[in-house]
Amino acid sequence: MTDLSGLEAELRGVVRGEVGFDVTARALVTMDASNYRRVPVGVVAPRDADDVAAVLEVCRARGVPVVARGGGTSIAGQATGTGVVLDFTRHLNGLLELDPATRTAVVQPGLVLDRLQEAAAPHGLRFGPDPSTHSRCTLGGMIGNNSCGSHSVAWGTTADSVRELSVITARGQRLRLGRDWAGAPDGLRELAEGELARLRTGFPDLPRRISGYALDALLPEKGADVARSFCGSEGTLGILTEAVVRLVEAPRARALAVLAYGDESAAAEAAAGLLPLGPLTVEGMAADLVRSRAGLPKGGAWLFVETGGETAAEARARAEAIVRAADVVDSLVVTDAAAQRALWRIREDASGTATRMPDGSEAWPGWEDCAVPPARLGPYLRDFRALLAAHGLRGTPYGHFGDGCIHVRIDFDLLTEAGIGRFRRFSEELADLVVAHGGSLSGEHGDGQARAELLPRMYGEETVRLFERAKAAWDPDDLLNPGMLVRPAPLDTNLRFSALPPRPVDVAFGYPADGGDFRAAVRRCVGVAKCRTSTVAGPAVMCPSFRATGEEEHSTRGRARLLHEMLAGELVTDGWRSTEVRDALDLCLSCKGCRSDCPVGVDMATYKAEFLHHHYEGRRRPAAHYSMGWLPVWLRWVARTRTAPLLNRLAAVRPFARLGKRLGGIAPEREIPRVAPEPFSRWWRRRKRRTAGDLVVLWPDTFTEHLSPSVGQAAVRVLEDAGLRVVLPPSRPFGGQVCCGLTYISTGQLDRARTVLRRTLDLMEPVLRRGAPVVVLEPSCAAALRADLPELLHDDPRATRLASAVLTFAEALERHAPDWTPPAVNRPVAGQTHCHQHAVLGDSADRRLRASAGLSGELSGGCCGLAGNFGFEQGHFEVSKACAEEQLLPSVRDAAEGTVVLADGFSCRTQLEQLAGVRGRHLAEVLAEGLETPGKDTGVGPG
């Protein structure tokens, strides 16, 4: 009988780590990356093994189940539970020892795989298995699921890399598992020795047999390896607290052969034949999963075959030998490390892109990783395709073709009773098909709830009863992750979709990619947790607030989970008024990085604006929503009254500035930006303008107009030098000016935003009729017009017309002045690509323009941290600063003297000035100065 009364207090009394029984803590772990959802009673982040033992003792006495959880990316439901969830990522996440001589490492269960790889790399070593979630999956989770990854054809599964394991059983025994029965609990040896014939004959001999318990590892001829048999037990046998793992020697050089085939069947047939050539990987995927085929050889499916060697020439020679041995449509051999990483990202992102069919409809896991003998992969895939067609389902297989392991997301209908019934029937028939081909129901991710019910079809009833006896030897009270592997819950129960409301909720945005359904938008997050990556690679942005805080609550996935629970109404019971959701969204920078970097295109900036719109409907808002949300109104008033000099003088007087910031909800650490004495449009009206050339409309965004008119002036100089005729949008006296609505959208004042945008569309009617391009200098405003405008005014066709007319500064020059040659600035650059440009607009044209002007080098990724109003709001300064310190500020500090510090966004320039004392410049300013003074040093060094 489960006794929950006083459980939280008792745990707090014996645990040194965090104990969370609040709504937020529980909501964040109701789901993993599977189709399943369970609501826990609480979450504990243990500091050490003693904490784990204390939790187990308390929970055993009260009959409360315990579930161990790492990164939460399990795809079969095994990282969810109804009892106490142990979160190992917060404290038990260390690399305790790394011994290059013995090629071993001692790790704690919460250690993220990439951190181990980074520590091993200087010694020429690495951990062999590497799932596509390597940037956030934990060693404990990998051991629990016996994870594999793309290099398993060379280095095997996690079980192949485990030497010893320290575990605590549900009854408090501390065991050190190893070979020769080391650490075996009472009764396990007797059980195994009494079933030797079954252990020798009842387990398929497959490189990717992950399903069930690995009891055959207990055979005497296999060394009676208790540690290996524990791998893949999904937290049902004991709680891992420490592991000794084996490392392998990493090749000094690598090459990647990308082999193109006509279709996936041809690629699957070819994969096994490449294994004798000793590749490190043989990964396959079809064209349906590729967002862009840029960089890939021509074909309908590809094998990614990596080779290694002592030298680049040796690695390349091996890759070329594989190309010669393969019968391909086309091929490509890549030795450049950056180019290889770009190609591997295509493959790694498939776990997310596969969740959407080519037509945008949803697809789900459930049959994510079946494995068959590699030589049977081609016939199996043909039968698998036939079974899909027979059930009217679709899915695009990809994955570890060299090991016969296939990943696929299928467009199951898991929302209706009929669809769930079809899901069950298909699952039962597919299980029989996999077994008929000599395969394993799970080839990497474990059985969990998704497949455990079907294990008798693979192993037979007697072997499954043996699994139950093994579970009883380890955990006689069935305390650890009950319902997984043995005595499982039915595969069609606990579905996470069933908790959502049956009808769509009223929302302001159109959500065109989700059929206008906010529930479907929230369902986009499937839990692959790319947003939990602790370091950003290349130009990526997502998720700056998670990297600054390390808290799941402040990741894109965490916020999506809370929104899901808000819609479900079981844990979060006050809907749009929820303070838990509000607080989680408070540190969302609205950088839009997830819109592009999330493999499934979650757009948390839009979800945040939607939530704030409903949360504050009919209620008083925070002061910052009035001071900064209505910034265009206040700045236009200052311009009309010509009080900018007075305002600037008052802002320079400390008491007045302090009072103004307190009243406006502005962080006291911030300086109030100076307002330009003369707005950009006033300068424009008094100058002589060019009357010839192709027409472009220059958008006077709020920041260019009132805070940095020099950017607009510079843009006019460059556009006219390029032979273009520049005009401003039509305006009317007393407030009739265009506005993108950005500040209203970011603060969730969507009714006001719609009013402003409809007025803008009225003013832009003549421009839209002429089809003139609209050049927007501020990236955040351009992104608002291109993305937010048509999604917010989805009922107005003019919105789409204006969005399609929007061009960045570089795009305008490239498309409408293709013969123009920019000035030769010839300087290195530093700085950061604006997050909205990265996420919505793209920067290809900017790169080409910089190269033409001799501006060399790369801009960093990440987010500046100011992000419009975010970094100015009270309570956000430290996170804002941490975001800037991640990439932007170091890149500027490390820049050589004379480097051009580029920052096209007003926020980025303000952050640079206030935190580093550096003047960032818009690309237009740099080019304009180059036109005025050819050959002059236009750079601004970091000093």
- CA count, 13 A, side-chain hemisphere, 785: 27
**How many whole angstroms from its chain centre is CA 376?**
34
Each residue of 614-624: pLDDT tens digit? 999 999 999 99
Rounded Cα gap, residues 188 and 180, in angstroms:
12
Rounded Cα gap, residues 448 and 887, in angstroms:
39
Residue 2's pLDDT is 57
650 band by pLDDT with thresholds 50, 70 and 90: very high
Rounded Cα gap, residues 318 and 336, in angstroms:
15
Inform me whether the pLDDT recorded for 497 exceeds 50.
Answer: yes
Give, as one character, the DSSP assignment of residue 845: H
Burial category of 863 from C-beta neighbours within 10 Å (exposed 0-12, middle 13-18, buried 19 and up): buried
CATH 3.30.70.2740 region(s) of the chain? 253-444
- Which of residues 491 and 366 earns the better pLDDT score? 491
Inform me whether the pLDDT recorded for 679 exceeds 80.
Answer: yes
Token readout for 701 is 């965004």
Query: pTM for the complete prediction?
Result: 0.94
Using only C-alpha atoms, the chain has a radius of gyration, in whole angstroms, of 29
Q: Please provide the average confidence, as pLDDT, over all residues in the chain.
A: 94
Per DSSP, the three-state class of 856 is strand
- Strands of 174-177's sheet in order across: 95-99, 104-107, 239-246, 162-168, 174-177
Rounded Cα gap, residues 785 and 804, in angstroms:
9
Residue 359's pLDDT is 79
Residue 561's pLDDT is 98
Fold observed for domain 1-92: 3.30.43
Cα distance from N-terminal residue to C-terminal residue, the chain? 68
939 band by pLDDT with thresholds 50, 70 and 90: very low
Rounded to the nearest 5 percent, the helix, strand and coil shares of the chain are 45, 15, 40
Inform me whether the pLDDT recorded for 91 exceeds 80.
Answer: yes
CATH 3.30.465.10 region(s) of the chain? 95-250
DSSP 335-399: --HHHHHHHHHHHHTHHHHTTB-TTS-B-B-SS---B--GGGHHHHHHHHHHHHHHTT--B--EE
Give, as one character, the DSSP assignment of residue 730: P
Residue 689's pLDDT is 80
Q: Residue range 780-803: average pLDDT?
A: 97
781 band by pLDDT with thresholds 50, 70 and 90: very high
CATH, domain 253-444, list 3.40.50.2300, 3.40.50.10070, 3.30.70.2740, 1.10.3720.10? 3.30.70.2740
Each residue of 173-226: pLDDT tens digit? 999 999 999 999 999 999 999 999 999 999 998 989 999 999 999 999 999 999
Residue 690's pLDDT is 80
CATH 3.30.43.10 region(s) of the chain? 1-92
- The total of other beta-carbon atoms located within 10 Å of residue 33's CB is 26
- Which of residues 141 and 535 earns the better pLDDT score? 141
Each residue of 721-754: pLDDT tens digit? 999 999 999 988 766 899 999 999 999 999 999 9
- The total of other beta-carbon atoms located within 10 Å of residue 83's CB is 23
352 band by pLDDT with thresholds 50, 70 and 90: low
127 band by pLDDT with thresholds 50, 70 and 90: very high
Question: Which residues make Cβ contacts (< 8 Å) with residue 552, sequence separation at least 6?
Answer: 28, 72, 532, 546, 558
Inform me whether the pLDDT recorded for 73 exceeds 80.
Answer: yes
Residue 158's pLDDT is 97
Q: Tell me, what amino acid is at 752?
A: R
Each residue of 363-411: pLDDT tens digit? 998 888 999 999 999 999 999 999 999 999 999 888 999 999 999 999 9
Q: Residue range 247-261: average pLDDT?
A: 96
- 264-274 vs 312-325: helix crossing angle, rounded to 10: 120
Q: Residue range 664-670: average pLDDT?
A: 97
- Which of residues 692 and 665 earns the better pLDDT score? 665
Residue 880's pLDDT is 98
Q: Residue 753: enclosing H or E segment and its boundaries?
A: helix 750-770
- CA count, 13 A, side-chain hemisphere, 707: 17
Each residue of 798-841: pLDDT tens digit? 999 999 999 999 999 999 999 999 999 999 999 999 999 999 99
Each residue of 566-613: pLDDT tens digit? 999 999 999 999 999 999 999 999 999 999 999 889 999 999 999 999
Residue 5's pLDDT is 75
- 604-615 vs 556-568: helix crossing angle, rounded to 10: 40
CA angle 418–421–424, rounded 5-degree value = 155
- Residue carrying structure tokens 């790369």: 858
Inform me whether the pLDDT recorded for 940 exceeds 50.
Answer: no
Rounded Cα gap, residues 711 and 597, in angstroms:
29
Cα distances (angstroms) measured from residue 142 to each of 30, 250, 293, 495, 938: 20, 20, 31, 24, 52
Cα distances (angstroms) measured from residue 529 to each of 25, 166, 493, 675: 17, 27, 24, 41
Is domain 95-250 annotated with CATH 3.40.50.2000? no
Each residue of 500-551: pLDDT tens digit? 999 999 999 999 999 999 999 999 999 999 999 988 878 899 999 999 999 9
Give, as one character, the DSSP assignment of residue 44: E
Question: Which residues make Cβ contacts (< 8 Å) with residue 199, sequence separation at least 6?
Answer: 192, 215, 216, 218, 219
Each residue of 274-315: pLDDT tens digit? 999 999 999 999 887 776 666 789 999 999 999 999 999 999
610 sits in the region (left: phi over 0; alpha: psi -120 to 50; else beta) called alpha
Taking alpha carbons only, the member of 931, 677, 932, 709 closest to residue 823 is 931
Residue 351's pLDDT is 60
Each residue of 844-874: pLDDT tens digit? 999 999 999 999 999 999 999 999 999 999 9
Residue 1's pLDDT is 45
Residue 4's pLDDT is 73
What whole-number percentage of the chain has pLDDT above 90? 90
Residue 353's pLDDT is 66
Rounded Cα gap, residues 676 and 635, in angstroms:
10
Burial category of 683 from C-beta neighbours within 10 Å (exposed 0-12, middle 13-18, buried 19 and up): middle
